[in-house]
Amino acid sequence: MKISGILLRASILLTLFACGAKGEIHTDQETPNTPAAPNLQIDSDYSQANQQVDDFFAGFTDENTPGGAVIILHDGEIIYQSAYGVSNLKDGSVLTIDHIFHIASVGKQMTALGIMILEQEGKLKYDDPAGNYVPEVKHFGDEFTIRRLLTHTSGLPDYDDAMQEALYARADEPTNEDLIAVLSEMDSLPSPSGDAFEYSNPGYDLLAVVIERVSGQTFPNFMQARIFDPLGMTHTFSLPNAERRADPMVAISYTGESGKPEAYPSDALDNLYGSGSIYTTIGDMALYDEALYTNQFVPRPALEEAFQPVELNDGNTEPYGFGWELEKWNGEDYVAHSGAWLGFNSDYVRFLKRHFSVIVLLNRDYDYPDDPRIALKIAEFYLK
């Protein structure tokens, strides 16, 4: 696959385009022409919208507070990108568009993409029981499938006190294998698979183990080799990775409140991955976003399955696909996901028919506008 030169140009472009810059994002595939719906336009004069973005961030950040970075993309072009606030309160270093943030649950879609890659290679099927690949959970039955883990309908709950206590009983810093051991000791699921939607971080951590068992690679290595490296996402990695996390370009994250923010550097659950363990930059996310409009990882018809609502046992549906929230704005469909972990916050919205996306990465988990969700609020400045 001849991508090295193209990715190099993309990397240079993303590095050179600083605040307010515009530029194209390139992948190794042609981007298909997608017809725009008649009731939504994108403002072609970006100056006013760009200023609105600056004013918006000025409403909750300044040169003395943690802040964030934002990138707005349309038709493979960077409309605007900028960073606000500081990356480290101790030394006052200014946040830049090249700083690295934890994206928390936004990483679920990348775990889902890893599963989709393996499905396309014929190494698993969505409706296979997860126990086919991880025998330790075989007792959850044939309805406990890969698809239901992807869509949070497996019946596996989120991390509650009992599950966390069981994990900490095994290790001070539990791993995915500790999680598998805990799941193997559960007598049954709290609710039948397929009966209800219940957001489950353990479900996505289990999917990471499926990826490992099927591919023969660790989850961080699989993501690096199959997604990040092919796209030239050179600033992106998955935990656990102490060396890369120590990179001075990794922003320090803060929790608390505006008057007394506190650094939040680590957590005992940092060695769990799959549900949210990815660090990245807005520039790398732009490369990833553009690749999702191509056939680079899976054929586009197969990728569209990720954007379909899940059907429950009773025939009702829930607006969640494979690691994507399925939302509407003014009657228009968009897909999205947000995340919060370790004092970081992230939000990512994509208007697929418009080839338009907004990505926001924050190094704070307090006092920021989120009604509507922060990336959608920024999108509203551009969508008319």
- Residues 244-298 have pLDDT tens digits of 999 999 999 999 887 889 999 788 899 999 999 999 999 999 999 999 999 999 9
Pairing of strands 262-263, 254-255: antiparallel
User: What pLDDT, on a 0 to 100 scale, did the predictor assign at position 45?
Assistant: 77
Q: Is 67 helix (H, G, I), strand (E, B) or coil?
A: coil
User: What pLDDT, on a 0 to 100 scale, did the predictor assign at position 18?
Assistant: 35
Domain total of the chain: 1
What average pLDDT does the segment 199-208 reach? Answer: 98
Q: What pTM did the predictor assign?
A: 0.89
pLDDT in tens, 84-139: 999 999 999 999 999 999 999 999 999 999 999 999 999 999 999 999 999 999 99
Question: What letter does residue 109 receive in the DSSP assignment?
Answer: H
> In this structure, are residues 113 and 162 in contact, taking their beta carbons and an 8 Å threshold?
no
| pLDDT at 36 > cutoff 60 | no
> In this structure, are residues 277 and 239 in contact, taking their beta carbons and an 8 Å threshold?
yes
What average pLDDT does the segment 354-367 reach? Answer: 96
Domain around 301? 4-382
Q: For residue 155, how far is the Cα from the chain centroid?
A: 22
User: What pLDDT, on a 0 to 100 scale, did the predictor assign at position 265?
Assistant: 75
**Mean pLDDT (the chain, rounded):** 90
In this structure, the dihedral spanned by the alpha carbons of residues 208, 214, 220 and 225, taken in order and rounded to 10 degrees, is -140
Question: What letter does residue 95 receive in the DSSP assignment?
Answer: P
Q: 35 falls in which pLDDT band (50, 70, 90)?
A: very low
pLDDT in tens, 71-88: 999 999 999 999 999 999
User: What pLDDT, on a 0 to 100 scale, did the predictor assign at position 13?
Assistant: 35
Q: 22 falls in which pLDDT band (50, 70, 90)?
A: low
CATH number at residue 373: 3.40.710.10
* Residue bearing the bigger pLDDT, 156 or 267: 156
User: What pLDDT, on a 0 to 100 scale, did the predictor assign at position 292?
Assistant: 96
DSSP for 17-54, written as a single string = --TT--EE---SSPPPP-PPPTT--B-S-HHHHHHHHH
Give the bridge partners for 66, in sequence order: 86
| pLDDT at 19 > cutoff 70 | no
